[in-house]
Structure 1
């Protein structure tokens, strides 16, 4: 019987495990991937202060700390069911047998949303996250020349990582508009998101957007006059007035069909052309990976500010089910730094249930909660606007359910 089982060995899960072990709790961390680190493993970018964020190195630091505390971390284990039993403990059902614990922390992270494009089943088509893992984790070259379909915070960040690895990217473009892709294919809506990372770009046009596109009028104006040749970010054109309508090839990707589009995302007849590429990355964004939270019976709230359906929780990472905690991107799409800080909060909350003399724990928990807010406010990139408002809404939902 473990004090806590943590599902997910990403930044949130590892950070929580370290904190729990510091208080001598009996901890098991499981993850379905072959090595710990989660999304951290593929991350590599330069921050505005000139320092490099290297996800592999960050993972190594977390693992060194976890191993120094004799933390039980097992990879290649998939959890497919969570069960609460009558004597107030939990059973985690996995492909390697069942495990029992007094508490559960679900830190399963996020998954990618695909933006379907005709031809997307051809070999050579992949999600932008898959390209990141193949390149930065497995050191596999995804192709000789490619294109990214979908312009958002995630795709821009990973495109830069691919460039740093020597991958040739022709450009980034929008998907053609349909009932599924309408949020990702409308130039003005995409401009709203792009302006949140413009301060990182070596482009006067995009830096202008970063400073002034708080105005809806200016965003419309910037979209209307967005250069037809695109705006280069790190030497790669980003197109908001071109869309990919089809991925072509017989046995593999050979080209994409592209149209110019209006400021409203409508195809302009007579502008069709083909671009030869041998791989395509599709970027539809991220959503909380919350199936296990649903299996255990946690209530959910849909909040666009947090990236989708999120299990109800409070700032201590507690849920309405006593003994079940959540941390990381399952609680809303944010940076790895925020996820790591949330893991510390969750670990301290769990420790409070099992450790006598809680005065120091109470103080550390309050400081850890404040640290999450600080990291969030100082984040270089925000995946969703109004993240703080979303956090307040989920906190209110928790209070309503607990006090009802």
Structure 2
């Protein structure tokens, strides 16, 4: 069986960008993805930047795939990876179709959704917000005639606008009611803090102007306390921070939702139930890093609320403490596709540098690392606050683990 230089798991922006760097430097590469199309999360994205330019994820993914294919990159779609076996000096990547032997593995598996459970959420017509995005923007399937979004966050606001642009009628966006799982997502004050980070994207100049002051907590408290009962409209759609969805109703499919008023702390106000007729419901609970394969191969993890959950420990070169294993994209923390693409470039160059060790590649690698930081700083959408602090914690954890490994090796020789 031929030994490859690198197997890349995930054909999203990070995986494709890494493959391009590897192929430009003549490494033997295979890219694996379980989806029938390359592009990952890019495939469903369509939004307008503050500059007025449109970000079209499908076109961006096409450009990356076309570039990779022009370099004769071996991209295998419909390949599900279920195990990475670590041998002495190589890895065996197991898929349902075949095994791949490689010196290096880049895990760029992205993120998964964590929808908050609501009574009635198993009815046909209930879906995650990401599923609605893929059905609408990728498969061109209309998800329903009139729906509602449960969960007010950066992800749901961006995708709700995409659904509107595709002609989908949305009644509103509202909070879930409080339970053990949805505590943070059901608290108006915490939601307001997160929502303030995307107010600059609103079509209303008044809201954009107000977002400059929303960084202060006392302003956020005032906004939540005096939030209008009719909601604040973005793109003609009310966004409620004082209303929540208590239940999804229907017999064989979604027929309506029960909406209730809530206090500024998320507590239900009695006798406030209202039935809203809809035929679909999108639940938006946010994203978390999809990192199981990194755990299978022995990568250590650190929990970072700033990055969206448990992430594999890694450094700015996207190296993990497991020699030969690299990570890039949302597996390292929830950020934009642009950041994922730049991280993929870094990972690809880091692998090339390991295999070829040239001063030219070292220089390109340092430049690419700087471009990740610049892209992060310029991002129009931030999924979590304090991302730089989260990144610093992960880097520090990597340094500590590497030092511990070095001490352990020294003791073996004593």
> Could you tell me the TM-score, scaled by structure 1's length?
0.99
Question: 2:272: which partner in 1?
Answer: 271
2:24 to 7, 19, 22: 22
Over aligned residue pairs, what C-alpha RMSD do you find? 0.8
Q: Distance in 2 between matches of 1:263 and 1:81?
A: 46
| 1:195/1:209 contact within 8 Å kept | no
Residue of structure 1 in register with 2:387 after alignment: 387
Q: Distance in 1 between matches of 2:273 and 2:207?
A: 27
Counterpart of 2:98? 97
Shift of 1:220: 0.6
Deviation at 1:206, TM superposition (A): 3.3
Q: 2 CA distance for matches of 1:220 and 1:49?
A: 30
Distance 2:166 2:124 in 1: 21
Q: Equivalent residues in 2 for 1:316-335 (5 A)?
A: 316-335=317-336
Q: CA deviation at 1:355?
A: 1.6
Aligned length: 402
- Say whether 1:10 aligns with 2:12: yes
Alpha-carbon displacement from aligned partner over 1:370-396 (angstroms, at most 9, x marks no partner): 000000000001000000000000000
2:65 paired residue number: 63
- 1:345 — aligned with what? 346
Report the 3-state secondary structure (helix = DSSP H, G, I; strand = E; otherwise coil) of the residue aligned with 2:91: strand
1:195 is paired with a residue of what secondary structure? helix
TM-score, with normalisation over the residues of structure 2?
A: 0.96
- Tell me by how many angstroms 1:40 deviates: 0.2
Partner secondary structure for residue 345 of structure 2: helix
Secondary structure, counterpart of 1:174 in structure 2: strand
Deviation at 1:217, TM superposition (A): 1.1
Segments of 5+ residues of structure 2 without an aligned counterpart are 405-414
**What are the Cα deviations for residues 295-339 of structure 1, in whole angstroms up to 9, with x where unaligned?**
001000000000000000000000000000000000000000000
CA contact (8 A) 1:12 1:339 kept: yes
2:353 aligned with 1:377: no
Does structure 2 retain, via aligned residues, the 8 Å contact 1:209–1:222?
no
1:222 is matched with which residue?
223
Residue 14 of structure 2 aligns to a residue in which SS? helix
Distance 1:99 1:214 in 2: 49
Secondary structure at the counterpart of residue 227 of structure 1: coil
Whether the aligned pair in 2 keeps the contact of 1:195 and 1:206 (CA below 8 Å) is no
Measure, in 2, the Cα distance between the counterparts of 1:364 and 1:22. Answer: 13
Q: 1:203: Cα distance to partner?
A: 3.1
Which residues of structure 1 form unaligned runs of 5+? none
Report the 3-state secondary structure (helix = DSSP H, G, I; strand = E; otherwise coil) of the residue aligned with 1:333.
Answer: coil
Is residue 54 of structure 1 aligned with residue 56 of structure 2?
yes
Q: 1 CA distance for matches of 2:160 and 2:97?
A: 36
After superposition, residues 146-165 of structure 1 pair within 5 angstroms as 146-165=147-166
Q: 2-side partners of 1:29 and 1:83: how far apart?
A: 17
